[in-house]
Amino acid sequence: ELKSIITDGDIRRALLSGFGLQSSIFVIKTNKPIVASTEDSVEQIAERFNEKIRIIPVVDKQNKVVDVYFRDKRTHIAVTNPLFDEHEIELLTECIVTGWVSSAGAFVTKFESMVADYCGTKYAVSCSSATSGLHLALLAHNIGPGDEVIVPSLSFIATANAVTYTGATPVFVDSHKTTWNIDPNLIADAITPKTKAIIPVHLYGHPADMDPINEIAKKHNLLVVEDAAEAQGAKYKNRMVGSLADIAVFSYFGNKIITTGEGGMIVTDDADIAEKCRVLRDHGMSKDRRYWHEVVGYNYRLTNMQAAIGVAQMHKIDNIISRKKEIAAEYSKHLEAIPCITLPSNMNWADNVYWLYTILIDTHLVDVNVEDLMQVLKQNGVDSRPVFPPMHKQPIYDTGLTLPLCEDISQRGISLPSAPDISDDNIANICKIIIDFIETNQVASTRL
């Protein structure tokens, strides 16, 4: 028998007003439910929907629920979203019940241990974001004012910002035409007597070509920091990303391969560097004397609640990555025959995890504007993202450089919905929108 209808909002408000997880659900005050009868027509039921009423149960003469009608006009396919289930809820609840919600707690060390084991590194240091992780990694290696750090221009701004935080100067290098990552062949020309480090970025889930980068670094005695924010689980020559350089950093922002909401992780095989990162992360506090600070540090800690989510996410990371690869294969199946579309690469030495499935539109072959395509997708309830603008063109780093490859990739690139729970039918529909848009513009271009 139908007693009431309770929404997630009702439960949230009840918890905020003092009720607990063990409280009876019947103590929650709700409005009288809007219901339909088995004798009502579809038209009559439809009239009862509005912006607030989106679920209507259908009851029989005994007031028992026999069906449910749903209506939601807010159709939207996101570029990506996290994949959560009862495991995250269970571990989060444990944090709340036990009171271990801040940066101390068993989940922090467990999450660090799981990531280190997964990457094949000796140490992992959790932190508040990948940006803070890059900052700590550079500080721990004494990068500072007067130094230069080589970075790819085609990356999210955080890669260069972390360099700037230390007082050092980012030096921008163009992209490789196939992988879109930093071109190893251009790094040597960017090295000066001030150069102290290289930060290759594994862009959109495809590993950078690390062997030649490490060879250059060894020759010039340079630090190598992997910015692996977008590529946890990717492999380079059967070696796991994160284990390919002196130190590496991952991101656990809400849109990454796995997430803790916000968060990051530093991985390394160097015990001294790991310890320096921990001290700097925790306000520079001495490990031997509480509230004693011998260096200026930062509050870059991850909470136990975030780490609890991370532990749950690590249990499903292989399934997430497997689905990411299936999604990429499904997109490629529909788009590979379109001459003006360049698909994301997967070099024979790489294992791409396709964080975001990103394509390039060849505007020389077809009269298509990427921004117009994004607008058409949006009109059809499909979100998308442009490729990152090159950092050397950003107002805060405007260098006057011309780096043609990354500039071209940025102008022609678009990232498509890549959430692990996207359906193959949705992928097919997205591809149809893209193909129809391109074919329409091909006709227009031909007529001109």
**Residues taking part in catalysis:** 256
Tokens found for residue 14:
């009840």
Tell me the residue type at 122.
K
Q: Are 338 and 438 in contact (CB under 8 A)?
A: yes
CA distance 297 to 284: 4
Tokens found for residue 397:
């780093």
